[in-house]
Amino acid sequence: MNNKSKINGAESLVQTLVHNDVNVCFANPGTSEMHFVAALDKVPGIRCVLGLFEGVLTGAADGYYRMKGNPASTLLHLGPGLANGLANIHNAKKANSGMVNIIGQHTLQHLQLESPLTSDIEAIARPMSDWVKTSKNSMDLSKDGAEAIENANIAPGKIASLILPADTAWGDGGPIITAKAKATRSKVDEITIKKIANVLTNGVKSTLLLGGGALTEEATLLAGKIAAKTGCGIITEAANARLSRGAGRLNMLRIPGAGVVDRALSMLEKAGQLILVAAKPPVAFFGYPDKPSLLYKEDAPISKLVEVEEDIVSALTDLAIELGAINAVPNHVAVSKRPDRPSGNISKKKLAMAIGATLPENAIVVDESVTTGRDFFPATAGSPPHDWLNNRGGSIGYGMPVSIGAAIACPERKVILLEGDGSGMYTVQSLWTMARENLDITILIFANRTYEILRGELTNVGVQNPGPRAVDMLTLDRPYIDWVNVAKGMGVESLQVNDCDNLLKALDVGIKKDGPFLIEIIF
Amino acid sequence: MNNKSKINGAESLVQTLVHNDVNVCFANPGTSEMHFVAALDKVPGIRCVLGLFEGVLTGAADGYYRMKGNPASTLLHLGPGLANGLANIHNAKKANSGMVNIIGQHTLQHLQLESPLTSDIEAIARPMSDWVKTSKNSMDLSKDGAEAIENANIAPGKIASLILPADTAWGDGGPIITAKAKATRSKVDEITIKKIANVLTNGVKSTLLLGGGALTEEATLLAGKIAAKTGCGIITEAANARLSRGAGRLNMLRIPGAGVVDRALSMLEKAGQLILVAAKPPVAFFGYPDKPSLLYKEDAPISKLVEVEEDIVSALTDLAIELGAINAVPNHVAVSKRPDRPSGNISKKKLAMAIGATLPENAIVVDESVTTGRDFFPATAGSPPHDWLNNRGGSIGYGMPVSIGAAIACPERKVILLEGDGSGMYTVQSLWTMARENLDITILIFANRTYEILRGELTNVGVQNPGPRAVDMLTLDRPYIDWVNVAKGMGVESLQVNDCDNLLKALDVGIKKDGPFLIEIIF
């Protein structure tokens, strides 16, 4: 190495990130990450986004991957900083999002002592990561970084956690490394294609269950052609990382999710034989007394077309060709039709209408509406084309951070965040980052002032007549959260509404605005 | 078992908690914990406190133990709920606080399926816990609960994490179990006492380094007697879980902590031979290039009187007797003297004076003031007697939650929370719980609008001339956080001040008020 190229380990790592298209770093640094922070400054081509709590960062990386298909990096301060980000790493892992976590660590020598922040970072990372490594040498940091990126890029997307001891950051760095290209997705074999074609034409009611990468516009329209030819139904998993929908795209129902097992069982009973397209055999969100955990009968006919990590579009194309459906006009396509603009008091149904009536074209809808949102899907099916993002990991507090990542991935698109008041509080610090980066997000807070889903769940698990102290644990009153003040406090413009006219006005303002805008909806 | 006593597993667990003096549950439940929530209602004698984020709960349990000496329980929702609480469990573990975490889990059958919230909870719990167990049978739940309490009670206090599958909660419960009594702390042997007495009288400058349980009024006054007799110095570890101080109590300096290694080295060089009293050999917070990790020379004379889990008061008593110091008038006792009430612009020094001038008698001071608070200790040494709590784990976001737990443990005492604006944001949801429970906490937010410690750390780790993007990652501007609005939004009365007169007025209001009051201090 000549002197001109002498860089430290942190610089070699940041250069390797940029060289391999990891262009964003969601960061909350501490002392052990100071050289990495300095390197972020010296190396052009990486956008640094500060978050005031680590769950904001890891959720943002999830949202970024969903919309960009490329991993972002996070910068986390030692074991506790990683711990704060774990819940949204969990959600990202369940959503098959790729992510490169850079986690600072003490110097290798300091680590042998018992100092306040010492912890076993590898052990903390492992339960939520697909790949974990501690760099042992500054010269290897770029190589380890490239390996992390290669792992994050494994289809459909993996969690890579690279632990960065401070002395590997400030020691001499090695050369920039080019990560191996993403592997080509493997193709489904002809035998499987023919087998599924036979299932679809055996005279029994069939339904395609679409998951993961089968939810792009291209993949769903192929499924629509198959439906046109065979008469099969098409549904999606209960929660989808990213679903293309709206007018001109496929109109599909989701399997009902948390808290409504009976509705899910009823839908799947009507579905007939299930064909899995990048989806898993459906299971309930929770186990309940006297209710099954599987949402299908153990002897039900379930076949699999393609796994989430395989070449999904090519499997659907081959199946459509096999069935003679490739030139069919797709079935189940939504016609362009918005609901009427509602008036009067706000109900869940009118809320759904208001969203359907105003949803801007090409919006990214991040849905953490929990109980409030059960009517939203049908009401928006004929709205202009948009993407719909759900939480696949079930850990609440995903919505605000994922919106940040989506907005940064797609600065030209409007993000509409549908957020419960309970779930919104988990990562409420997100609002500050939205303000700082002036992200184009309209935030709807559904202020029902309760963990409403749990009221239903008390009954579902067989608790009779819960007493006042139990109900207290589900209720967000005394005091009510005043979201308008909370948002203002973090620099986000905000309004409270409690009737449909003001809701629609506020939606018009928020959607027109180029930046974050929060609407607290009392109903 | 007769029918009359037929209870479910959750009820048997709650009854076992109450029976063994675990009288508080800091809770954020989900579906899998609904039977436990119902049981909290049915069983009298347990106070349930709802938090809107799990880091609030685990930090509150830490604060509760520090002030009460008895573990509280937490109720956490599955792996991600535990993950959200881990950083403050880390801090509690480093502070030697006992805690009984009850973590909900899927039914054992459901756990075999891949559902959204499935994760390896034992693996998530282990890095931050001393004891981890998953209950396998509803009849064993009370037994497992008693075992968790026994483990939490092991001196000086341990983290016990009990995982509660939903079906063990709703299945038939076993009998209430009495946990084994806390083991008697072992006594330091006579040889060690004589050895330390010899060290203290060998003519070389000596200093007692007090940690953990050596910081009660009783223990520190014994140390003061030993100092009166031998002329030794007395210092404390850099961060203390709970330190009794103020007028009439011992006035001790702490070893300087994060960001100021040189000051720590200088203090310890002057200390001479160190005698550890429930303390560890001192090490730096972080490793730095060209600075040692150990705060003492490797060949320095260090002796140990007593370990943190042993009988500390009896060791100090025996040593005082051995030295003929038991009837001495303690040295280093602080005289009663408050600083003058400052006026004009606010500086760090005047801030310290204002706190010293107004600190109410018997206050509990929770200190997460980071860089702002480096002058606070001397300015409050002669204020009325109080307890001072520091973060021993270094993971910021401990202050607000620990204040909640301290206020619940000691409802008759005023809690004064000294909080940085950066650190306060990590667990800002705490404010809502303070409002809901009307906790008697005066919150001072030091709004320097930066992670100021990191500016120093950039230099300490050898980064020269950081560029604007690096500085951006340390700066809480664009937008400024408006703490008055944030607090109001969560139901806490609040004021902003930017000069000493208004600061003192606000302190008077907050201290007089019986409930939470937040003062945002701009300086």
Contact present, B226 and B316 (Cβ < 8 Å): yes
pLDDT band at A224 (very low <50, low <70, confident <90, very high): very high
Tell me B475's DSSP state: B
* pLDDT for A465 beyond 90: no
> Edge-to-edge strands of the sheet including A273-277?
A253-254, A233-236, A206-210, A273-277, A302-306
Mind telling me how many Å the CA of A369 is from chain B's nearest CA? 16
Residue A259 has pLDDT above 90, yes or no: no
Sequence-ordered list of residues with C-beta below 8 angstroms from that of B457, at least 6 positions apart, any chain: A30, A31, A34, B259, B286
B481 close to B421: Cβ distance less than 8 angstroms: yes
Nearest residue to A319 (alpha-carbon basis) of A348, A281, A277: A277
**How many angstroms separate the CA atoms of A237 and A212, rounded?**
9
Residue B468: burial class (beta carbons within 10 Å; 0-12, 13-18, 19+)? exposed
**Cβ-Cβ contacts under 8 Å, A101 against chain B:** none
- Taking the C-alpha atoms of residue B458 and residue B474, their distance in angstroms, rounded to an integer, is 10
DSSP state of B212: G
Contacts of B35 in chain A (CB under 8 A): 461-463
B91 φ/ψ angles, rounded to the nearest 5 degrees: -60, -40
**Contacting residues of B for A27, CB less than 8 Å apart:** 473
Show Cβ contacts of residue B18 under 8 Å, excluding neighbours closer than 6 positions: B43, B44, B45, B46
DSSP B258: T
Closest residue in chain B to residue A42, using alpha carbons only: B467
Q: Do the strands A24-27 and B243-245 form a parallel or antiparallel pair, or are they unpaired?
A: unpaired
Quick check: A294 and B113 CB within 8 A? yes
Spell out which residues of chain A touch residue B38, defining contact as CB-CB under 8 Å. Answer: 458, 463, 466-467, 470
Asked whether the beta carbons of residue A479 and residue B490 sit closer than 8 angstroms, the reply is yes
Number of helices and strands (H, E) in chain B?
Answer: 20, 18
> What would the two tokens of residue B22 be?
């675990």
Distance from CA of A198 to the nearest CA of B (A): 29
d(CA B481, CA B491): 17
- pTM of the model as a whole: 0.97
Contact present, B479 and A436 (Cβ < 8 Å): yes
- Report which of B332, B381, B390 is spatially closest to residue B352, judged by C-alpha positions: B381
- Asked if the Cβ–Cβ distance from B286 to A454 is below 8 Å, we say no
DSSP 8-state code for residue A179: P
DSSP track, A434-503 = HHHTT--EEEEEEE--B-HHHHHHHHHTT--S--HHHHHTTB--SSPP-HHHHHHHTT-EEEEE-BHHHH
Q: Which of residues 425-464 of B touch A (CB under 8 A)?
A: 425-426, 428-429, 432, 435-436, 453-454, 457-458, 460-463
Yes or no: say if B469 and A460 are a contact pair by the CB < 8 Å rule: no
Chain A's closest residue to B282, CA to CA, is A115
Nearest CA in chain A to B122: A127
Q: Token pair 């393609």 is at which residue?
A: A306
Task: Enumerate residues 311 to 340 of chain B having a beta carbon within 8 A of any beta carbon in chain A.
Answer: none
Residue A470 has its nearest CB partner, among B41, B435, B482, at B41
Contacts of B92 in chain A (CB under 8 A): none
Quick one: which of B151, B377, B157, B156 has its CA closest to B278?
A: B156
Whether omega before B156 lies within 30 degrees of 0, making that bond cis, reads: yes
Q: How far A464 CA sits from the closest chain B CA (Å)?
A: 9
Q: Beta-strand (E) ranges in A51-168?
A: 73-76, 99-105, 131-134, 159-165
CA angle A36, A41, A42 (to 5 degrees): 95
Q: At B416, list the tokens.
A: 């004064």
DSSP three-state, residue B397: coil
Is the backbone peptide bond immediately before A378 cis, with ω within 30 degrees of 0?
no
Interface test with B, best of A486, A495, A496 (most B CBs within 10 A): A486
First to last CA, chain A: 66
Taking only the tens of pLDDT, chain B with its 523 residues reads: 334 458 999 999 999 999 999 999 999 999 889 999 999 989 999 999 999 999 999 999 999 999 999 999 999 999 999 999 999 999 999 999 999 999 999 998 898 888 999 999 999 999 999 999 999 999 999 999 999 999 999 999 999 999 999 999 999 999 999 999 999 999 999 999 999 999 999 999 999 999 999 999 999 999 999 999 999 999 999 999 999 999 999 999 999 988 788 999 999 999 999 999 999 999 998 888 888 889 988 788 899 999 999 999 999 999 999 999 999 999 999 999 999 999 999 999 999 999 999 999 999 999 999 888 888 999 999 999 999 999 999 999 999 999 999 999 999 999 999 999 999 999 999 999 999 999 999 999 999 888 888 888 888 888 878 888 888 888 998 899 999 999 999 999 999 999 999 999 999 999 999 999 999 999 9
Nearest to A92 by CA among A516, A389, A462: A389
DSSP state of B214: G
Mutation test of the interface with chain A: which of B298, B469, B496, B520, choosing the one with the most A Cβ atoms within 10 A? B469
| Nearest chain B alpha carbon to A77 | B395
Q: Looking at CA atoms only, how far is residue A105 from chain B in angstroms?
A: 10
The pLDDT, as a whole number, for residue B4 is 46
Nearest chain B residue (CA) to A111: B287
- If you average pLDDT over residues A152-163, what whole number do you get? 98
What pLDDT does residue B466 have?
Answer: 85
At what angle are helices A312-322 and A217-230 packed, to 10 degrees? 20
- The conformation of residue A1, written as its DSSP 8-state character, comes to -
**What value does the mean pLDDT of chain A take?**
95
Interface confidence: ipTM more than 0.90: yes
Give the count of beta carbons closer than 10 Å to the beta carbon of residue B467: 13
∠A314-A320-A324 over CA atoms, to 5°? 145
Query: Which of A107, A120, A485 lies closest to B287 in CB terms?
Result: A107
Q: How many residues does chain A have?
A: 523
Degrees, nearest 5: CA angle A114-A118-A123: 125
Q: What pLDDT sits at residue B2?
A: 39
Instruction: Kindly write down the DSSP assignment for every residue of B432-460, as one continuous string.
Output: HHHHHTT--EEEEEEE--B-HHHHHHHHH
Is B484 in contact with B478 (CB distance < 8 Å)?
no
**Chain A residues within 8 A of B78 when measuring between CB atoms:** 395
User: Which residue of A23, A46, A86 to mutate against B (max B Cβ within 10 Å)?
Assistant: A86
Give dist(CA B260, CA A223) in Å, integer. 63
Query: What's the sign of the alpha-carbon dihedral B241, B247, B251, B255?
Result: positive
**Size of the A and B interface in Cβ pairs below 8 Å:** 331
**Does B468 contact A429 at a Cβ distance shorter than 8 Å?**
no
B73-76: strand order across its sheet: B47-50, B24-27, B73-76, B99-105, B159-165, B131-134
CA A279 to each of CA A260, B114, B211: distance values in angstroms, whole numbers, following the listed order: 20, 12, 56
Pairing of strands B243-245, B386-390: antiparallel
Q: What is the mean pLDDT of residues A488-507?
A: 98
All residues of chain A having their beta carbon less than 8 Å from the beta carbon of residue B395 are 78, 80-81, 83, 117
- What average pLDDT does the segment A498-511 reach? 98
Give B 59-88 residues with CB within 8 A of chain A: 78-81, 83-84, 86-87
**Of the given ranges (A255-259, A375-379, B260-264), which has the lowest mean pLDDT?**
A255-259
User: Which helix (DSSP H) or strand (DSSP E) does residue B364 occupy?
Assistant: strand B364-368
* Option in A35, A428, A436 nearest B478 (CB): A436
| CA–CA separation, B432 and B404 (whole Å) | 11
Q: Which two tokens stand for residue A297?
A: 């009968």
Task: Give a three-class secondary structure readout of A283-296.
Answer: ECCCCECCECCECC
Cβ contact, residue pair A40, B167, below 8 Å: no
A184-195 mean pLDDT: 97
> In chain B, what is the straight-line distance between the N-terminal and C-terminal CA atoms, in Å?
66
Q: Give the burial class of A462: count Cβ atoms within 10 A of its Cβ; 0-12 exposed, 13-18 middle, 19 or more buried.
A: middle
**Beta-carbon separation of B258 and A31 below 8 A:** yes
pLDDT of residue A458: 84
Q: Which residues of chain B from 107 to 146 reach within 8 Å of chain A, CB to CB?
A: 107, 109-110, 113-117, 119-120, 123-124, 126-128
B61 burial type by CB count under 10 A (0-12 exposed, 13-18 middle, 19+ buried): buried
Of A283, A467, A491, the CB nearest to B113: A283
Sheet holding B386-390, edge to edge: B243-245, B386-390, B364-368, B415-420, B441-447, B517-522, B493-497
Question: Is the bond preceding residue B479 a cis peptide, omega within 30 degrees?
Answer: yes
Q: Report the b/e string of B211-244 with b at 16+ CB within 10 A.
A: bbbbbbbebbbbbbbbbbbbebbbbbbbbbbbbb
In whole angstroms, give the CA distance from residue B304 to residue B208.
10
User: Which one of A461, A480, A483 would you mutate to disrupt binding with B, by most B Cβ within 10 Å of its Cβ?
Assistant: A461
Alpha carbon distance B419, B481 (integer Å)? 14
| Torsion angle (degrees, nearest 10) of CA B427, B432, B437, B443 | 60
Q: Is A474 on the interface with B (CB under 8 A)?
A: yes
What percent of chain A lies above the pLDDT cut of 90? 84
Residues of B in contact with A296 (CB under 8 A): none
If 0-12 CB within 10 Å is exposed, 13-18 middle and 19+ buried, where does residue A444 land? buried
Q: Mind listing the pLDDT tens digit for each residue in A332-355?
A: 999 999 999 999 999 999 999 999
Measure the CA–CA gap between B98 and B92, rounded to whole angstroms. Answer: 8
> Residue A472 and residue B50: Cβ atoms within 8 Å?
yes
A34, A86, A461 member nearest B457 (Cβ): A34
Which one-letter amino acid corresponds to residue A189?
D
User: Is residue A2 over pLDDT 50?
Assistant: no
Sequence-ordered alpha helix ranges (H) in A362-436: 376-380, 399-409, 421-426, 430-436
What's the average model confidence in pLDDT over A289-317?
92
Confidence of residue A5 (pLDDT cuts 50, 70, 90): low
CA distance A360 to chain B (A): 27
Mean pLDDT score, A220-232:
98
Kindly state the DSSP code that residue B426 receives in the 8-state scheme: G
pLDDT reported for residue B52: 97
- pLDDT at residue number A3: 43
With beta carbons under 8 A apart, name residues in chain B contacting A472: 48, 50
* Dist. CA A399–CA A368, nearest whole Å: 5
